[in-house]
Structure 1
Amino acid sequence: MRIGELAKLTDTSARALRYYEDEGLIVPRRMANGYREYDDYLVDRVIQIRGLLDSGLPTRIIKQILPCLDKPRTIHFVDATPEMLTTLEHERDRMSDRIEFLTRNRDAIIGYLDAVKALA
């Protein structure tokens, strides 16, 4: 598929897709005319990258952990540094805090909706 189709399927700009390519997060094939050709599996990969970016992980960490997120899951970190492990632990804790925050807000909205619907 071409970049525009991948952009549409993943709700990601073509510019962002080219950035992911520059960062080594995705690797499209090149057609004879030089156009990028994206494989179908990259739809899930881009969605996964966006989720990781949205959760606050920097691209340098995403690039290192992305191979471990494929199926079947294979852990192959031969170059995991103490700094990287500390960063991942920090990001994990930050995500957990964000999940708790979002859960509280979701529950508050549910309570509000229930109260409004009970009055209707």
Structure 2
Amino acid sequence: MKIGELSRLTGVSPRLLRYYEEQGLLVSARPGGGHRRYAADAPETVRRIRHLLAAGLPTAVIREVLPCVEGVGADDVPALAACTRRYLRGQLDGVNERISELQRNRDSLTALLELSERTAA
């Protein structure tokens, strides 16, 4: 299928599909005329990419994890093989670390605001 058709089927812009290809997430062939042609399973690959992006995974991690997809789980979420645990655990640890940092920031800002409000009163 051509890029326009893949875009229509997935709701992903052609520009973004080309980006996925540049990142090594999506593969196309370029027969004779040089136009991109995607395999019949490309829409499913794009859906998997979108789910993994929605989970906050960077494209470098998705490139490593994508070959480990073993189908579709609940709510059309990709079912991942055990080989992905290391990547996913690292990403989750990073998210938890950022959340902790944001909570510390919030606490500091709250304290500063309370102090300034007491001082102004």
What range describes the TM-score normalised by the shorter chain of this pair? 0.5 to 0.7
5+ residue gaps, structure 1: 95-120
Q: Matched residue of 1:29: which SS? A: coil
Extract structure 1 runs of 4+ deviating beyond 6 A: none
Letter in 1 for 2:3: I
Kept in 1, the 8 Å contact 2:70–2:81? The answer is no
5+ residue gaps, structure 2: 72-78, 96-121
- After superposition, the C-alpha distances for 1:17-71 in whole angstroms (9 at most, x for unaligned) are 0000001101111121100001110100001101111111000000001000045
Q: CA deviation at 1:76?
A: 9.0
Q: 2:118 maps to which residue?
A: none
> How far apart in 2 are the matches of 1:90 and 1:74?
15
> How far apart in 1 are the matches of 2:29 and 2:20?
14
Residue 45 of structure 1 pairs with residue 58 of structure 2: no
Q: 1:27 maps to which residue?
A: 27
TM-score (norm 1): 0.63
> How far apart in 2 are the matches of 1:76 and 1:35?
37
Which has the larger Rg? 2
Residue 60 of structure 1 pairs with residue 60 of structure 2: yes
Q: CA deviation at 1:88?
A: 1.9
Identity in percent? 41
